[in-house]
Structure 1
């Protein structure tokens, strides 16, 4: 079916109130692209584009804005009830912000991301003026403005504290704010958000190069009850700032990845948060002592990432699982830790914790012994390695073809994702693929799974894939016939 016909038929179906096009829409560019959307159902409340070029988006927005003008009162409005819009574009600009504000009066959730391939000029960039268009109707609950570093190290250089101050004045009702790449915004701007948005629950700031501990200096004096905080690549943040942040005792998700100046004292402060279930600490300066603070905590931790924490050793595993906090962990990332060896994984296997996802990629001291220990681990009397849904052992120097044998039945019966090094015995890997048709095998270093660490909309919420009836039947012991498998090589 032609793309235009697909959109038209889908949107005319009154059953659909949400549409996600998670691909490059430019591949289906058509001169009547905008006009096709004029047939959209007025029941559409949610729209998401994986990527849409500005040329196509501009044409669509011109149509949207035109239908909002008094002279077009007899013309049906496009997207009259749209509440949620998620876009990935070339550039986030002032014109884009103005058009969205005029044309989408029912919007409560706006998620915008760009990835410039060249430094934007002023006419194709976001400035303080553009931020003033946000939430002119006063009903916006979530705003996300992210400048990706995918192609170029670039930032929103034309936005400073004044722009954020103006935005915060009109955004007091916001419950979720995500800002990425605002390199000229200082503590003054970020503090304005914290002190103006009394309903704020989720705060996400990335590449906040001027954010310091002062942002949270008097956070205890506010009425904020934050539940989700992400402060990735905020390298001026120290243990003092995290100590003050921890006064928000309702915190459930904390992302401090790549905050290089955070150490053990920060973890001691976080250990008192009784609702914390997701903690991401990649690349921080923590040691085994800091992990022991977590181990003595009393919170229901289910997801923990310690990727690239170079000070950690094998001793961090018994320190973490000595108390009760580690026994709820289902997703665990121990990748890129140079001193982590098979002894750590043996300690982990002895705990018999039902870990669902384990990443130990690029650990030079991890070898076949770790695979054998995990394969032999029984959880609650189940089969060998019964809980493991994802295992990533890519580029672990001591893994040999012998380890591949431990992925045959009956070991790892629930395994769906496996990361291994492609140069291992290729025949054995191919045989494994044929014998385990429901295992996605990645051999080139791809990150595995659904990317729950970076989910923008669910904020790290992870739901395990349900087994269909055929797969359940096969896993219960019936012989599986050879079939195609999703192998990323």
Structure 2
């Protein structure tokens, strides 16, 4: 197994000369800062870690300007041969991208995400920066994303020409993730699809000009695509998925945030017999759509229909039948933010879904104490396999939803319980007693999503 090191910096941390000796065979280094979103990591001491063995570097909350200066200084270190670079930055610029590709010619994976604090385009990424990617001839995975965490910013200085540069210079790409390119249309994205014939993963986020024809342009790579994610693309409708059945190897489909996706989409999706993970969050589907999806009898392992507000108990029951494949395969189910979900369908889910280990009911106000007691009181039932249960803001729960003392078998496999914004949290005695009775159980009272983890760090919730 490759030697790895992960650091979470909560206070001043000193690197001494001994680290070079200890980590002379280090292959992967990940550093994150637990602080405010404006705190950044000083990259200068990292020179001590740049051994010939280091192949993967992952840094959160890095100042782009300082990183450019640092990388320009260390690029001449003998045998420095980084293959994978992951950066969370304040701003992705041409200067950053050009410096990275000229300094790290053998990069295989490049993952950049920025979180700007202003809408200013000064110093922002342009088509020129993307043109420099042609110098990374070994690149097979590319991710460039602009987050809206701090402000509603996008890459306003990149258009289709920038995507043409990517398609011409990076024909070996197998994984592409692009987010926040507000001026790019399907013509730009299609150029990548035509050029990258080995593409297995394709993900677009927040692409307001993307239209339904994007999937029609995927005919050349349809047989190789395993993972397709088109998230928060406001123009996409159900018709975009009409020819989805031509994707013979598709296992993952994500159209979360595409609010014009309707009941016809589940019908098209039901024809993809290889599908195991499906995310339809915020789609305009109803019980009819879920019934159509169920008729396809797909072996779905993970299903998210969060914020599909027109769905009721009836729709979920039509999807989960005892004789369907999904009852044997479904392990992760998210039905959060659906106002018409009640205890009745929780009983159905717990009874039929034999492999279920993650269940999210967050913001389902129709869920009451009775459902929680059912999940607790049946030691030999399917529900006893649950490892994560999210009850955040289920306003139908009382402070007595979890009765004390806990029976020996109650939640005996549970590893994470979300009870933020419920009366259970307000009653601190119950909160503390749960933690004491189940030492391995993480109880979250601050409304995190599954696991209290953003991919870099875990919140302190106990």
Fold similarity call, TM over 0.5: yes
**Secondary structure of the residue that 1:22 maps to in structure 2?**
strand
Alignment pair present for 1:42 and 2:52: yes
Distance 1:29 1:260 in 2: 38
Alignment pair present for 1:398 and 2:396: yes
Change (3 A) 1:55 1:222: closer
Alignment pair present for 1:149 and 2:122: no
1:80–1:105: 8 Å Cα contact kept in structure 2? no
2:444 match? 442
Distance 2:320 2:415 in 1: 26
2:81 match? 81
Alignment pair present for 1:338 and 2:336: no
Change (3 A) 1:6 1:213: farther
Distance 1:231 1:399 in 2: 35
Summarize the alignment of residues 171-250 of structure 1 with structure 2, pairs less than 5 Å apart: 171-220=170-219, 224-250=223-249
1:52 match? 62
Change (3 A) 1:11 1:342: farther
1:480 match? none
Greater mean alpha carbon deviation, residues 348-357 or residues 257-266: 348-357
1:116 match? 116
Aligned length: 442
TM-score (norm 1): 0.85
Alignment pair present for 1:285 and 2:299: no
**Secondary structure of the residue that 2:58 maps to in structure 1?**
strand
1:29-86 deviation per Cα after TM superposition (whole angstroms, max 9, x unaligned): 66xx536516621110001002211243123122134x2xxxxxxxx33x73211000
1:352–1:377: 8 Å Cα contact kept in structure 2? no
| Aligned-pair CA distance for 1:22 | 2.5
1:99 match? 99
**Secondary structure of the residue that 1:199 maps to in structure 2?**
coil
**Secondary structure of the residue that 2:81 maps to in structure 1?**
coil
**Secondary structure of the residue that 2:135 maps to in structure 1?**
coil
Summarize the alignment of residues 448-487 of structure 1 with structure 2, pairs less than 5 Å apart: 448-449=450-451
Summarize the alignment of residues 321-360 of structure 1 with structure 2, pairs less than 5 Å apart: 321-322=320-321, 323-351=324-352, 353-360=354-361
| Aligned-pair CA distance for 1:432 | 1.4
The CA RMSD measured in Å over matched residues stands at 2.5
Greater mean alpha carbon deviation, residues 287-296 or residues 230-239: 287-296
Distance 1:28 1:231 in 2: 31
Q: Which runs of 5+ in 1 are unaligned?
A: 68-75, 457-485
1:468 match? none
Greater mean alpha carbon deviation, residues 222-231 or residues 246-255: 222-231
| Aligned-pair CA distance for 1:349 | 2.3
Greater mean alpha carbon deviation, residues 286-295 or residues 147-156: 286-295
2:84–2:109: 8 Å Cα contact kept in structure 1? yes
TM-score (norm 2): 0.89
Distance 1:442 1:24 in 2: 18
Greater mean alpha carbon deviation, residues 169-178 or residues 134-143: 134-143
**Secondary structure of the residue that 1:402 maps to in structure 2?**
coil
Summarize the alignment of residues 160-175 of structure 1 with structure 2, pairs less than 5 Å apart: 160-175=159-174
